[in-house]
Amino acid sequence: MEEYIGFDVSMKETAVSIRRDGKRIWRGKCASDPKVLADLVRKRAPHAKRVVFETGPLSVWFFHALKAEGVPAICIDARHAKAALDMAPNKTDANDADGLAHLAEVGFFREVRMKGFESMLSRTRMAARNRLVRISVELSNQIRGLMKTFGLIVPSAKGGKFDEHVCRLLDGRGDLAPIIMPILEAWRSVRVRRAAELGRQVLADARQSQACQLLMSIPGVGAITATAFTSAIEDPANFKKSRSVGAWIGLTTRRYQSGEVDYDGHISRRGDAHLRGLLYEAATVIMTRSAAESDLRTWGIKLREKIGFKRAAVAVARKLAVIMHAMLVSGEFFERKATNTI
Protein backbone atom coordinates (compact mmCIF):
# COMPACT_ATOMS: atom_id res chain seq x y z
CA MET A 1 0.00 0.00 0.00
CA GLU A 2 1.72 3.15 -1.21
CA GLU A 3 0.76 6.71 -0.37
CA TYR A 4 1.10 9.83 -2.51
CA ILE A 5 1.35 13.22 -0.85
CA GLY A 6 0.91 16.80 -1.99
CA PHE A 7 2.34 19.83 -0.15
CA ASP A 8 1.02 23.32 -0.83
CA VAL A 9 3.80 25.32 0.81
CA SER A 10 3.44 28.83 2.20
CA MET A 11 5.60 30.88 4.55
CA LYS A 12 3.83 29.90 7.79
CA GLU A 13 1.71 26.83 7.09
CA THR A 14 1.72 23.99 4.59
CA ALA A 15 -1.44 22.27 3.43
CA VAL A 16 -1.03 18.49 3.21
CA SER A 17 -3.08 15.93 1.29
CA ILE A 18 -2.44 12.16 1.35
CA ARG A 19 -3.90 9.73 -1.18
CA ARG A 20 -3.93 5.93 -1.31
CA ASP A 21 -5.56 3.68 -3.93
CA GLY A 22 -7.11 6.64 -5.70
CA LYS A 23 -8.74 8.10 -2.58
CA ARG A 24 -7.81 10.82 -0.14
CA ILE A 25 -7.13 9.33 3.27
CA TRP A 26 -6.03 12.44 5.18
CA ARG A 27 -5.89 16.20 4.77
CA GLY A 28 -4.70 18.93 7.10
CA LYS A 29 -2.18 21.67 7.81
CA CYS A 30 1.01 21.99 9.79
CA ALA A 31 3.91 24.40 10.22
CA SER A 32 6.14 25.01 7.21
CA ASP A 33 9.07 23.18 8.77
CA PRO A 34 10.66 20.23 6.90
CA LYS A 35 11.26 18.31 10.13
CA VAL A 36 7.64 18.67 11.21
CA LEU A 37 6.44 17.66 7.76
CA ALA A 38 8.80 14.66 7.72
CA ASP A 39 7.40 13.50 11.07
CA LEU A 40 3.89 13.90 9.68
CA VAL A 41 4.74 11.81 6.62
CA ARG A 42 6.23 9.04 8.75
CA LYS A 43 3.15 9.03 10.96
CA ARG A 44 0.36 9.35 8.38
CA ALA A 45 2.00 7.77 5.34
CA PRO A 46 4.69 5.26 6.35
CA HIS A 47 4.85 3.86 2.80
CA ALA A 48 5.00 7.19 0.96
CA LYS A 49 6.23 6.82 -2.61
CA ARG A 50 6.09 10.44 -3.80
CA VAL A 51 5.86 13.75 -1.97
CA VAL A 52 5.20 16.53 -4.45
CA PHE A 53 5.36 20.30 -4.04
CA GLU A 54 5.73 23.24 -6.42
CA THR A 55 8.67 25.50 -7.14
CA GLY A 56 8.77 28.60 -4.98
CA PRO A 57 10.93 30.68 -2.63
CA LEU A 58 11.27 27.83 -0.13
CA SER A 59 11.56 24.97 -2.62
CA VAL A 60 15.37 24.56 -2.49
CA TRP A 61 15.45 24.48 1.30
CA PHE A 62 12.43 22.17 1.48
CA PHE A 63 13.81 19.75 -1.08
CA HIS A 64 17.22 19.24 0.52
CA ALA A 65 15.84 19.23 4.06
CA LEU A 66 13.15 16.65 3.22
CA LYS A 67 15.67 14.50 1.37
CA ALA A 68 17.92 14.60 4.43
CA GLU A 69 14.95 13.31 6.48
CA GLY A 70 14.50 10.40 4.08
CA VAL A 71 11.31 11.74 2.48
CA PRO A 72 10.91 10.98 -1.28
CA ALA A 73 10.48 14.66 -2.14
CA ILE A 74 9.86 15.80 -5.72
CA CYS A 75 9.69 19.45 -6.78
CA ILE A 76 7.64 20.10 -9.91
CA ASP A 77 7.31 23.09 -12.20
CA ALA A 78 4.66 25.48 -10.88
CA ARG A 79 3.67 26.50 -14.42
CA HIS A 80 2.81 22.91 -15.32
CA ALA A 81 1.01 22.28 -12.05
CA LYS A 82 -1.11 25.42 -12.53
CA ALA A 83 -3.01 23.93 -15.48
CA ALA A 84 -4.13 20.97 -13.37
CA LEU A 85 -4.81 22.97 -10.20
CA ASP A 86 -6.98 25.46 -12.09
CA MET A 87 -9.48 22.65 -12.73
CA ALA A 88 -10.69 22.92 -9.12
CA PRO A 89 -13.84 25.09 -8.80
CA ASN A 90 -12.41 26.91 -5.77
CA LYS A 91 -8.83 28.07 -5.29
CA THR A 92 -7.82 27.07 -1.75
CA ASP A 93 -4.64 25.74 -0.20
CA ALA A 94 -6.39 22.47 0.65
CA ASN A 95 -7.61 22.01 -2.94
CA ASP A 96 -4.14 22.79 -4.26
CA ALA A 97 -2.66 20.14 -1.96
CA ASP A 98 -5.29 17.67 -3.21
CA GLY A 99 -4.38 18.47 -6.80
CA LEU A 100 -0.67 18.02 -6.15
CA ALA A 101 -1.29 14.69 -4.43
CA HIS A 102 -3.35 13.57 -7.42
CA LEU A 103 -0.53 14.58 -9.78
CA ALA A 104 1.87 12.59 -7.63
CA GLU A 105 -0.37 9.53 -7.85
CA VAL A 106 -0.87 9.57 -11.63
CA GLY A 107 2.72 10.68 -12.32
CA PHE A 108 1.63 13.54 -14.56
CA PHE A 109 4.29 16.13 -13.75
CA ARG A 110 7.73 17.36 -14.75
CA GLU A 111 10.34 17.17 -12.02
CA VAL A 112 12.58 20.19 -11.53
CA ARG A 113 16.30 19.65 -10.97
CA MET A 114 17.18 21.31 -7.69
CA LYS A 115 20.57 22.96 -7.36
CA GLY A 116 23.07 22.00 -4.70
CA PHE A 117 24.11 24.09 -1.74
CA GLU A 118 27.39 25.31 -3.26
CA SER A 119 25.71 26.40 -6.48
CA MET A 120 23.00 28.24 -4.58
CA LEU A 121 25.63 29.94 -2.43
CA SER A 122 27.45 31.11 -5.54
CA ARG A 123 24.22 32.30 -7.18
CA THR A 124 23.24 34.15 -3.99
CA ARG A 125 26.57 35.96 -3.98
CA MET A 126 26.09 36.89 -7.63
CA ALA A 127 22.54 38.11 -7.00
CA ALA A 128 23.66 40.22 -4.04
CA ARG A 129 26.46 41.82 -6.06
CA ASN A 130 24.14 42.48 -8.98
CA ARG A 131 21.62 44.17 -6.70
CA LEU A 132 24.26 46.38 -5.09
CA VAL A 133 25.56 47.42 -8.52
CA ARG A 134 22.03 48.40 -9.56
CA ILE A 135 21.54 50.41 -6.38
CA SER A 136 24.83 52.24 -6.98
CA VAL A 137 23.75 53.11 -10.51
CA GLU A 138 20.45 54.45 -9.19
CA LEU A 139 22.29 56.58 -6.62
CA SER A 140 24.74 57.96 -9.18
CA ASN A 141 21.87 58.82 -11.54
CA GLN A 142 20.08 60.54 -8.66
CA ILE A 143 23.17 62.63 -7.93
CA ARG A 144 23.54 63.60 -11.59
CA GLY A 145 19.87 64.60 -11.81
CA LEU A 146 19.92 66.72 -8.66
CA MET A 147 23.12 68.54 -9.60
CA LYS A 148 21.95 69.12 -13.15
CA THR A 149 19.08 71.20 -11.78
CA PHE A 150 21.65 73.74 -10.52
CA GLY A 151 23.72 73.74 -13.68
CA LEU A 152 26.36 71.32 -12.38
CA ILE A 153 26.97 68.68 -15.04
CA VAL A 154 28.88 65.63 -13.80
CA PRO A 155 31.12 64.32 -16.63
CA SER A 156 30.84 60.69 -17.67
CA ALA A 157 33.26 58.67 -15.58
CA LYS A 158 33.69 55.35 -13.82
CA GLY A 159 34.65 54.34 -10.30
CA GLY A 160 36.66 56.90 -8.33
CA LYS A 161 36.52 59.49 -11.12
CA PHE A 162 32.80 59.98 -10.50
CA ASP A 163 33.50 60.69 -6.84
CA GLU A 164 36.22 63.21 -7.76
CA HIS A 165 34.03 65.03 -10.28
CA VAL A 166 31.15 65.40 -7.81
CA CYS A 167 33.41 66.71 -5.05
CA ARG A 168 35.06 69.17 -7.44
CA LEU A 169 31.72 70.55 -8.61
CA LEU A 170 30.45 70.87 -5.03
CA ASP A 171 33.53 72.80 -3.91
CA GLY A 172 32.33 76.17 -2.66
CA ARG A 173 28.66 75.20 -2.84
CA GLY A 174 27.78 75.24 0.84
CA ASP A 175 24.09 75.31 -0.01
CA LEU A 176 24.02 72.16 -2.16
CA ALA A 177 26.83 70.08 -0.65
CA PRO A 178 24.91 69.13 2.56
CA ILE A 179 22.20 67.63 0.33
CA ILE A 180 24.38 65.76 -2.16
CA MET A 181 27.15 64.50 0.13
CA PRO A 182 24.95 62.03 2.11
CA ILE A 183 23.87 60.44 -1.19
CA LEU A 184 27.50 60.35 -2.35
CA GLU A 185 28.51 58.66 0.91
CA ALA A 186 25.81 56.04 0.35
CA TRP A 187 27.14 55.53 -3.20
CA ARG A 188 30.68 55.06 -1.84
CA SER A 189 29.49 52.52 0.72
CA VAL A 190 27.48 50.51 -1.81
CA ARG A 191 29.73 50.64 -4.86
CA VAL A 192 33.26 51.14 -3.62
CA ARG A 193 33.05 48.97 -0.50
CA ARG A 194 30.23 46.42 -0.53
CA ALA A 195 29.82 45.63 -4.24
CA ALA A 196 33.58 45.63 -4.73
CA GLU A 197 34.01 43.19 -1.85
CA LEU A 198 31.50 40.76 -3.35
CA GLY A 199 33.21 41.20 -6.72
CA ARG A 200 36.53 40.22 -5.17
CA GLN A 201 34.91 37.13 -3.67
CA VAL A 202 33.54 36.11 -7.07
CA LEU A 203 36.93 36.66 -8.69
CA ALA A 204 38.71 34.64 -6.00
CA ASP A 205 36.30 31.73 -6.44
CA ALA A 206 36.68 31.88 -10.23
CA ARG A 207 40.47 31.69 -9.94
CA GLN A 208 40.16 28.52 -7.87
CA SER A 209 37.60 26.91 -10.18
CA GLN A 210 38.96 24.87 -13.07
CA ALA A 211 35.66 25.14 -14.92
CA CYS A 212 35.66 28.94 -14.66
CA GLN A 213 39.26 29.14 -15.83
CA LEU A 214 38.28 27.00 -18.79
CA LEU A 215 35.39 29.28 -19.78
CA MET A 216 37.41 32.45 -19.22
CA SER A 217 39.67 31.42 -22.10
CA ILE A 218 36.88 32.70 -24.36
CA PRO A 219 37.40 36.37 -25.32
CA GLY A 220 34.63 38.44 -23.74
CA VAL A 221 33.85 35.95 -20.97
CA GLY A 222 35.02 37.10 -17.55
CA ALA A 223 34.77 35.82 -14.00
CA ILE A 224 31.17 37.00 -13.52
CA THR A 225 29.82 35.29 -16.66
CA ALA A 226 31.86 32.12 -16.09
CA THR A 227 30.72 31.82 -12.46
CA ALA A 228 27.08 32.45 -13.36
CA PHE A 229 27.22 29.81 -16.11
CA THR A 230 28.91 27.09 -14.04
CA SER A 231 26.62 27.64 -11.04
CA ALA A 232 23.55 27.46 -13.28
CA ILE A 233 24.67 24.38 -15.22
CA GLU A 234 26.30 22.63 -12.24
CA ASP A 235 27.04 19.25 -13.83
CA PRO A 236 27.42 19.29 -17.66
CA ALA A 237 25.90 15.79 -17.67
CA ASN A 238 22.56 17.40 -16.77
CA PHE A 239 22.19 18.14 -20.49
CA LYS A 240 22.39 15.32 -23.01
CA LYS A 241 23.12 17.75 -25.85
CA SER A 242 24.93 21.07 -25.80
CA ARG A 243 22.26 22.49 -28.07
CA SER A 244 19.70 22.12 -25.28
CA VAL A 245 21.46 24.75 -23.18
CA GLY A 246 20.40 27.59 -25.48
CA ALA A 247 16.73 26.65 -25.12
CA TRP A 248 17.09 26.14 -21.36
CA ILE A 249 18.39 29.69 -20.92
CA GLY A 250 15.63 31.08 -23.15
CA LEU A 251 17.70 32.10 -26.18
CA THR A 252 15.77 30.13 -28.79
CA THR A 253 12.76 31.44 -30.68
CA ARG A 254 9.20 30.58 -29.76
CA ARG A 255 7.14 28.64 -32.27
CA TYR A 256 3.37 28.67 -32.68
CA GLN A 257 1.66 26.13 -34.92
CA SER A 258 -2.07 25.52 -35.25
CA GLY A 259 -3.61 24.22 -38.47
CA GLU A 260 -2.36 26.37 -41.32
CA VAL A 261 -0.75 28.88 -38.97
CA ASP A 262 2.94 28.29 -38.35
CA TYR A 263 5.37 31.03 -37.39
CA ASP A 264 8.37 31.76 -35.19
CA GLY A 265 8.33 34.58 -32.67
CA HIS A 266 10.77 36.25 -30.30
CA ILE A 267 13.07 34.29 -28.01
CA SER A 268 11.30 32.51 -25.17
CA ARG A 269 13.13 34.42 -22.40
CA ARG A 270 12.73 31.45 -20.06
CA GLY A 271 15.20 30.34 -17.46
CA ASP A 272 17.86 32.44 -15.77
CA ALA A 273 17.35 36.07 -16.85
CA HIS A 274 20.62 37.21 -15.26
CA LEU A 275 22.67 34.56 -17.06
CA ARG A 276 20.89 35.34 -20.33
CA GLY A 277 21.79 39.00 -19.93
CA LEU A 278 25.43 38.17 -19.18
CA LEU A 279 25.69 35.98 -22.28
CA TYR A 280 24.17 38.74 -24.41
CA GLU A 281 26.67 41.20 -22.94
CA ALA A 282 29.54 38.79 -23.67
CA ALA A 283 28.28 38.36 -27.24
CA THR A 284 28.19 42.14 -27.66
CA VAL A 285 31.79 42.39 -26.42
CA ILE A 286 32.90 39.66 -28.81
CA MET A 287 31.31 41.44 -31.77
CA THR A 288 32.33 45.02 -30.93
CA ARG A 289 35.23 45.32 -28.48
CA SER A 290 37.23 42.11 -28.61
CA ALA A 291 40.43 42.43 -30.63
CA ALA A 292 40.91 38.65 -30.67
CA GLU A 293 39.73 37.15 -33.93
CA SER A 294 37.80 33.90 -33.74
CA ASP A 295 35.41 31.84 -35.80
CA LEU A 296 32.61 32.89 -33.45
CA ARG A 297 33.34 36.60 -33.92
CA THR A 298 33.59 36.23 -37.70
CA TRP A 299 30.31 34.33 -37.84
CA GLY A 300 28.57 36.95 -35.70
CA ILE A 301 29.81 39.86 -37.80
CA LYS A 302 28.65 38.21 -41.01
CA LEU A 303 25.27 37.48 -39.44
CA ARG A 304 24.98 41.12 -38.30
CA GLU A 305 25.09 42.27 -41.92
CA LYS A 306 22.08 40.07 -42.72
CA ILE A 307 19.74 40.38 -39.74
CA GLY A 308 20.97 43.38 -37.73
CA PHE A 309 23.09 43.79 -34.63
CA LYS A 310 20.63 42.85 -31.87
CA ARG A 311 19.38 39.66 -33.46
CA ALA A 312 22.94 38.68 -34.36
CA ALA A 313 24.04 39.29 -30.76
CA VAL A 314 21.26 36.99 -29.52
CA ALA A 315 22.39 34.31 -31.98
CA VAL A 316 26.01 34.69 -30.83
CA ALA A 317 24.87 34.48 -27.19
CA ARG A 318 23.01 31.24 -27.92
CA LYS A 319 25.97 29.75 -29.74
CA LEU A 320 28.28 30.94 -26.97
CA ALA A 321 26.18 29.06 -24.39
CA VAL A 322 26.39 25.91 -26.52
CA ILE A 323 30.16 26.26 -26.90
CA MET A 324 30.65 26.84 -23.17
CA HIS A 325 28.75 23.67 -22.32
CA ALA A 326 30.72 21.70 -24.92
CA MET A 327 33.95 23.00 -23.37
CA LEU A 328 32.87 21.84 -19.91
CA VAL A 329 32.10 18.40 -21.34
CA SER A 330 35.37 18.05 -23.26
CA GLY A 331 37.61 19.91 -20.79
CA GLU A 332 39.32 21.72 -23.67
CA PHE A 333 40.16 25.42 -23.79
CA PHE A 334 38.60 27.71 -26.36
CA GLU A 335 40.28 27.55 -29.76
CA ARG A 336 39.73 30.74 -31.71
CA LYS A 337 40.26 29.27 -35.15
CA ALA A 338 38.92 25.77 -34.71
CA THR A 339 35.51 24.20 -35.25
CA ASN A 340 33.98 23.82 -31.80
CA THR A 341 31.04 21.60 -31.02
CA ILE A 342 28.02 23.80 -31.73
List the pLDDT tens digit at each of the 342 positions of the chain.
799 999 999 999 999 999 999 999 999 999 999 999 999 999 999 999 999 999 999 999 999 999 999 999 999 988 888 878 888 888 899 999 999 999 999 988 889 989 888 899 999 999 999 999 999 999 999 999 999 999 999 998 765 689 899 999 999 888 999 999 999 999 999 988 899 999 999 999 999 999 999 999 999 999 999 999 999 999 999 999 999 999 999 999 888 888 878 878 888 988 889 999 999 999 999 999 888 888 999 999 999 999 999 999 999 999 999 999 999 999 999 987 754 444
Beta partners for residue 266, in sequence order: none
- Could you tell me the pTM of the whole model? 0.83
Cβ neighbours of residue 216 closer than 8 Å, sequence gap 6 or more:
206, 222, 223, 226
Nearest residue to 44 (alpha-carbon basis) of 65, 60, 27, 31: 27
In the prediction, which pLDDT does 264 show? 81
Residue 118, classified by CB atoms within 10 Å of its CB into exposed (0-12), middle (13-18) or buried (19+), is: exposed
In the prediction, which pLDDT does 159 show? 57
In the prediction, which pLDDT does 160 show? 67
C-alpha to C-alpha distance for 155 and 7, rounded to whole angstroms:
55
Number of H helices, E strands in the chain: 14, 7
C-alpha to C-alpha distance for 1 and 26, rounded to whole angstroms:
15
Beta partners for residue 17, in sequence order: 6, 27
Q: Residue 255: phi, psi to the nearest 5? A: -135, 135
Cβ neighbours of residue 90 closer than 8 Å, sequence gap 6 or more:
none
C-alpha to C-alpha distance for 26 and 5, rounded to whole angstroms:
10
Query: What angle, 0 to 180 degrees and rounded to 10, lies between the N-to-C axes of helices 196-208 and 223-233?
Result: 70
CB 241 within 8 A of CB 311: no
Beta partners for residue 50, in sequence order: 4
Per-residue burial over 71-104, b = 16 or more CB atoms within 10 Å of its CB, e = otherwise: bebbbbeeebbeebbeeeeeeebbbbbbbbbbbb
CA distances from 273 to 116, 126, 239, 278, 291 (A): 19, 13, 19, 9, 28
Percent of the chain that is helix, strand, coil (3-state, to 5): 55, 15, 30
